[in-house]
Structure 1
Amino acid sequence: MKNISVLISLYEKESANYFDLSLKSLYHQTCPASEIILVLDGPITSSLQNIIDKWINILPIKTIPLSENQGLARALNAGLKHCQYDYIARMDTDDICTPNRFQSQIDFLEKNNDIDVVGTWISEIDENNQEIRPRVKFPLLHSELFSFFSKRDPLAHPTVMFRKRFFTKSGEYPTIIPMGEDTALWFYGFKNNCKFANIPIIGVNFRRTSDFYLRRANKEKTMKLLKYRVFKINKELGYGMSSNIYAFLYALLAISPTFVKKIIYKYFR
């Protein structure tokens, strides 16, 4: 059985109930994690600490406390330094892994030595763990992911499993684009010849709540990501004018009212 490091960031505003369900899904993996690197991004609530205390003697959790909140990218970079194993799986504290997620990704990577990072498809669930969408697909082959990236992210970040060499090639998570650290990481991965893939299984039940839409309503951060898309990603990867149009449309969606976002995500994602 292959060793896996799981990389998670936790901060004080996370739901203790969702966090509990997330860890429970790690417990039920058919290919269990060898270590769970849990970065505490600043002080956390007592309810979150209680969940850690509940699982710390059941799961191989190693907590990495940060003295203050530094944001997702810096927290993940801090955690990467503690990941011992070649396979590094990402996980968010409000999502739920399906039982065969890690085994499926390990099997794929073992058969495809050229692939540096592999994601999965997702299903979407709401606040009450009810399924909203049974399947959200992503492209499978590297060339398809590269083309897809001209429009939007080709991987669902909480589903990915990296080989450690991905970060040797790409560098760590960029910290210059808040709320866009994964987009920036994919850019540097493509730019530095990392090989990407997805596998056609549901690996994660992705939680889409009202907070999900509100987090994407920050105008300043949206404009930073738009500029980064147009003047950095699209320019350096050689995407055409259509990619800039998609970037502007995505920015408009990000700052639109929540009810508009819900309609777009439901029917056009």
Structure 2
Amino acid sequence: MEDKIGMKYSGLMSVYKKEDPQLFEKALTSIINQTMPPAQMVLIEDGKLTTELLDIVEKMQVRFEKNKIFFKIIRNEKNLGLGLSLKKGVESCSYSWIARFDSDDISVNYRMEESINYVCKNPNVKLLGSYIAEIEKDTNKVLDVRKVPKGNVEIKRIMGKRNPFNHMTVFFERETILKAGNYKDVPYFEDYYLWLRVLSRDIEAANIGKVLVKATVDANFLNKRGGAQYLKKEFNFQSIIYKEKYISFPVFVFNILTRGMVRIFPKRALKYVYKIIRK
């Protein structure tokens, strides 16, 4: 199974100029420190980066290659957005399985060992995620654990109403993603849209009921998920998946009312709404 799942897989990450350099370096370090690290790391520089971020890329490339991890950099001349960057990244990965890493989240050191063991024992699963712990940026204090449904039936039952995966935890078969059309340019919903297209093809999926990634949360977390701009993007996304028949009209209306309208709530109220939605 070496090339199929293997001890060999590709890591995938996109970074752009607004990333926090300290978190970016920690995220990359957590990949090197995996008990089963990738054979290849694909990093997409989405547009021009700051000097500080470029210095980290250069330093970390040396560290990856010292650890016998091939470090491949794809440079976008201009910022294309996350969806199109990840699309290029998936196409550039050399191995049959790909682990998605975020540029500001920390993978626990046994994340990939757990993931690889799971898909080896459950060969029908082609898309796998896990729980995450949301931690405060400055203190590393755990603020919340975001749980997701573990079984394939429950994942597919809720997928029209909410994202059944924590995107920064996913491990997936490259061929399955390509057959589903790969990532697309749907701002804020690139991953969720991909999962809907994958799962509609009768692909089996699962989540490991353990925290395998620590996701950093700061003051901007709720700002990114609220306001008229996000409401507009939410409406656009819901319209797309309704037109493509991933959801029914009643679910479309339900989502607009429950997911869309909360975007214009005050931040304090939005915080509690997110806790309720995630339960």
TM-score, normalised relative to structure 1: 0.92
Q: 1:187 aligns with which of 168, 171, 196?
A: 196
User: Which residue is 1:167 aligned to?
Assistant: 177
Whole-Å Cα distance in 2 between the matches of residues 194 and 247 of structure 1?
A: 27
User: Which residue is 1:201 aligned to?
Assistant: 210
Whole-Å Cα distance in 2 between the matches of residues 258 and 183 of structure 1?
A: 23
Q: Note closer, same or farther for the CA distance 1:167–1:158 as it changes in structure 2 (3 Å cut).
A: same
Return 223-232 or 60-69, whichever deviates more.
223-232
Q: Is the 8 A contact 1:37 1:62 kept in 2?
A: yes
Q: Is the 8 A contact 1:226 1:248 kept in 2?
A: no
Give the SS at the match of 1:39. strand
Query: Which amino acid in structure 1 is aligned with residue 217 of structure 2?
Result: R
Query: Which amino acid in structure 2 is aligned with residue 217 of structure 1?
Result: G
Report how far residue 223 of structure 1 moved.
Answer: 2.7
Q: 1:144 aligns with which of 142, 146, 154?
A: 154
Whole-Å Cα distance in 2 between the matches of residues 228 and 244 of structure 1?
A: 13
Report how far residue 151 of structure 1 moved.
Answer: 2.0
Q: 2:17 aligns with which of 12, 15, 26?
A: 12
User: Which residue is 2:3 aligned to?
Assistant: none
Where does 1:82-93 land on structure 2 (aligned, <5 Å)?
82-93=92-103
Q: Is the 8 A contact 2:230 2:263 kept in 1?
A: no
Query: Which amino acid in structure 2 is aligned with residue 237 of structure 1?
Result: Y
User: Which residue is 2:49 aligned to?
Assistant: 44
- Structure 2 regions of 5+ residues with no counterpart? 1-5
Does structure 1 residue 35 correspond to structure 2 residue 16?
no
Q: Is the 8 A contact 2:90 2:174 kept in 1?
A: no
Q: Is the 8 A contact 1:151 1:247 kept in 2?
A: no
Query: Which amino acid in structure 1 is aligned with residue 164 of structure 2?
Result: P
Report how far residue 17 of structure 1 moved.
Answer: 0.4
Whole-Å Cα distance in 2 between the matches of residues 126 and 212 of structure 1?
A: 11
Report how far residue 53 of structure 1 moved.
Answer: 1.9
How many residues matched? 268
Does structure 1 residue 127 correspond to structure 2 residue 137?
yes
Whole-Å Cα distance in 2 between the matches of residues 45 and 215 of structure 1?
A: 21
Q: 1:236 aligns with which of 212, 236, 245?
A: 245
TM-score, normalised relative to structure 2: 0.89
Superposed structure 1 runs of 4+ greater than 3 Å apart: 237-240
Q: 1:108 aligns with which of 112, 118, 125?
A: 118
Report how far residue 235 of structure 1 moved.
Answer: 7.2
Report how far residue 111 of structure 1 moved.
Answer: 1.2
Q: Note closer, same or farther for the CA distance 1:77–1:254 as it changes in structure 2 (3 Å cut).
A: same
Report how far residue 218 of structure 1 moved.
Answer: 4.9
Q: Is the 8 A contact 1:25 1:97 kept in 2?
A: yes
Q: Is the 8 A contact 2:100 2:168 kept in 1?
A: yes
Whole-Å Cα distance in 2 between the matches of residues 217 and 14 of structure 1?
A: 20
Query: Which amino acid in structure 1 is aligned with residue 11 of structure 2?
Result: V
Report how far residue 96 of structure 1 moved.
Answer: 0.4
**What is the percentage of aligned positions where both structures have the same residue?**
28
Whole-Å Cα distance in 2 between the matches of residues 129 and 94 of structure 1?
A: 15
Query: Which amino acid in structure 2 is aligned with residue 174 of structure 1?
Result: K
- Structure 1 regions of 5+ residues with no counterpart? none
